[in-house]
Amino acid sequence: MSNRIGVHALVWVGGTDPAAVREAVARSAAAGYDLLELSLHDAVNLDTAAARAELEAAGLGVACSRGLAFDADISSADPAVVERGAQLLADSLVTTRELGGTHLTGALYSALGKYGAPLTSAGRANVVRVLREVAAEAAGHGMTLGLEICNRYETNVINTAHDALVLADDIGADNVTIHLDTYHMNIEEDDLVRPVYEVGARLGYVHIGENHRGYLGSGHLDFGAFFHALADIGYGGPITFESFSSAVVSPGLSSDLAVWRNLWSDGAHLAEHARAFIAGQLAASAPR
């Protein structure tokens, strides 16, 4: 298999302080994963040098993700709010690079939460301008940005693959890729297949999550069709398992993501099951 199979650190721990990172790295490696995704919502507590050493010692790759905040949002029409969002992105790019990562992804274009009105033309222009600048900085370090497509309750900027492709075209940078997430696709897309073909070679990152964010295969998503579509386009990038339970996720992020119930309490069993599930889907969809 050419795809690295990843796991989101929030399967294990709620933050990124040294003890939490140490635990997430150890448990990810023990479960057989190739990559650990670290959310930068808790970056103030992240010791990048120590985390990088832990990751390298375990032989794990790393990707970083984040959403912005309503007071630091590049989709705002308020210049001060936009500037704070741009600084968050600049800092996140540095953090990702210091961790040894080359991929920063997520809702890089807006706050993560429900907006009360549609995106304004001024706000969208700010998104394009700032992400063009961040992409140029990232390219200088051989890094890639991912536009994660999130549902209408978490952003008003891009909700479908088509939205993301139009935004990426407007940014106009080769190192800006599309990030598909099956949880969000289930809400916003007609199915899990056509968006994969529409994005095609511009797909740079994938999140695998069940329709309720619990155990893979316990919901109603057609993962077989999705993985066959990935194989058809020759996708060779990371495939990262993402699942949230209020038993683990930090209270602030739980509220942002509307994680109101414990879908699981045993992260180890969940992650081992997910690793085997994804590997099985990749094997079943591999060209014969």
Q: Which residues pair with 72 in a beta bridge?
A: 69
Q: Is 56 a catalytic residue?
A: no
Considering 37, 148, 198, 210, which one is annotated as catalytic? 148
Spans of the chain, pLDDT less than 50 = 1
DSSP designation for 69: B
Report domain extents, the chain.
Answer: 5-285
Q: Is 148 a catalytic residue?
A: yes
Residue ranges of alpha helices (H) inside the chain are 18-30, 48-58, 79-98, 121-139, 161-171, 182-188, 194-199, 223-232, 251-257, 267-285
Structure confidence at residue 227 (pLDDT): 98
Report yes or no: 102 and 176 within 8 Å, Cβ to Cβ: no
C-alpha to C-alpha distance for 88 and 69, rounded to whole angstroms: 9
Report yes or no: 37 and 64 within 8 Å, Cβ to Cβ: yes
Structure confidence at residue 243 (pLDDT): 86
Structure confidence at residue 140 (pLDDT): 98
Report yes or no: 115 and 67 within 8 Å, Cβ to Cβ: no
If we measure between CA atoms, which residue out of 144, 166, 163, 143 comes closest to residue 155?
Answer: 163
C-alpha to C-alpha distance for 130 and 125, rounded to whole angstroms: 9
Q: Is the dihedral of CA 67, 227, 178, 167 positive or negative?
A: negative
CA 248 and chain centroid, separation: 18
- pTM for the model stands at 0.94
* The residue to which tokens 């599930």 are assigned: 277
| Percentage of residues in the chain having pLDDT higher than 70 | 92
Structure confidence at residue 148 (pLDDT): 98
Report yes or no: 210 and 245 within 8 Å, Cβ to Cβ: no
Give me Rg for the CA atoms of the chain. 18
Considering 37, 198, 210, 242, which one is annotated as catalytic? 242
Angle at 285 between CA 284 and CA 288, to 5 degrees: 90
For the domain spanning 5-285, the CATH number is 3.20.20.150
Alpha-carbon dihedral angle through residues 181, 198, 110, 120, given to the nearest 10 degrees: -140
C-alpha to C-alpha distance for 267 and 285, rounded to whole angstroms: 27
